[in-house]
């Protein structure tokens, strides 16, 4: 073994030992999947601005009944990373775009155990993390602002918001 390959072997050897070390009692090598409960992400409610007027911005607060709501659960304690995929605007059947604005006050995380109706504000334009414990469910409320221009085409506009949740560990 050359000097270089010996040095590399010394660095890798502990990793090999960790990966192959037999469990204390079972006598069989086994990797434990994590998480051991399914990660659940559900869209419970859509974000509906309703009728908005040309030239006038309309804001839906995160706890408004027209705000979007996502429900997240994993059935065990875990750190979760939340990332929203937000459209810059809504699109009409004719292809016109209605600008959307999201900011720091547009998201609110409410825990299932929160009876008071309070929650933690978050900025949906930035990924963020939160810890969920046991069977707890998290509810992410999302509002936003529709900003039609003074010459905005009169039409129905649609788009989608996607919430991506990643389990980071415990």
Q: Is 7 one of the binding residues for another protein (CB under 8 A)? A: no
Q: Is the peptide bond before 35 cis (omega within 30 degrees of 0)?
A: yes
- Whichever of 4 and 115 has its CB closer to another protein, that residue is 4
Beta carbon of residue 112, minimum distance to another protein (angstroms, whole number): 17
By CB under 8 A, tell whether 77 contacts another protein. Answer: no
Task: Tell me the torsion sign for CA atoms 122, 124, 125, 131.
Answer: positive
Instruction: Name the burial class of residue 108, with classes exposed (0-12), middle (13-18) and buried (19+) by CB atoms within 10 angstroms of its CB.
Output: buried
- Report how many residues bind another protein under the rule CB under 8 A: 64
- CA 38, distance to chain mean position in Å, is 15
- For position 20 contacting another protein by CB under 8 A, the verdict is yes
CA atoms within 13 A on the CB side of 35: 21
Query: Cα-flanking dihedrals φ and ψ of residue 43, to 5°?
Result: -90, 110
By CB under 8 A, tell whether 2 contacts another protein: yes
Closest distance to another protein from the beta carbon of 163 (Å): 6
Please identify which residue in the block is written with the tokens 């469910």. 137
Task: Decide: is 143 part of the binding site for another protein (CB under 8 A).
Answer: no
Residues near another protein, by CB under 8 A = 1-2, 5, 8-9, 12-13, 15-16, 18-20, 31-36, 38-43, 45-56, 58, 68-70, 87, 90, 98, 100, 142, 144, 146, 148, 152-167
């Amino acid at each position: 073994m050359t000097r270089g390959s010996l040095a590399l072997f010394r660095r890798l050897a502990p990793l090999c030992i960790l990966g192959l070390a037999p469990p204390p009692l079972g006598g069989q090598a086994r990797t434990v999947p994590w998480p051991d409960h399914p990660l659940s992400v559900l869209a419970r409610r859509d974000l509906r601005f309703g009728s908005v007027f040309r030239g006038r911005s309309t804001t839906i607060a995160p706890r408004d009944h027209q705000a979007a709501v996502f429900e997240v659960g994993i059935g065990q304690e875990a750190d979760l990373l939340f990332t929203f995929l937000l459209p810059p605007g809504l699109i009409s059947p004719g292809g016109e775009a209605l600008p959307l604005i999201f900011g720091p006050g547009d998201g609110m995380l409410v825990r299932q155990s929160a009876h008071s109706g309070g929650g933690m504000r978050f900025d949906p334009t930035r990924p963020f993390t939160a810890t969920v414990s046991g069977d707890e469910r998290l509810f992410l409320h999302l509002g936003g602002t529709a900003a039609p221009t003074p010459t905005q085409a009169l039409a129905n506009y649609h788009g989608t918001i996607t919430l991506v949740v990643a389990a980071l560990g415990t």
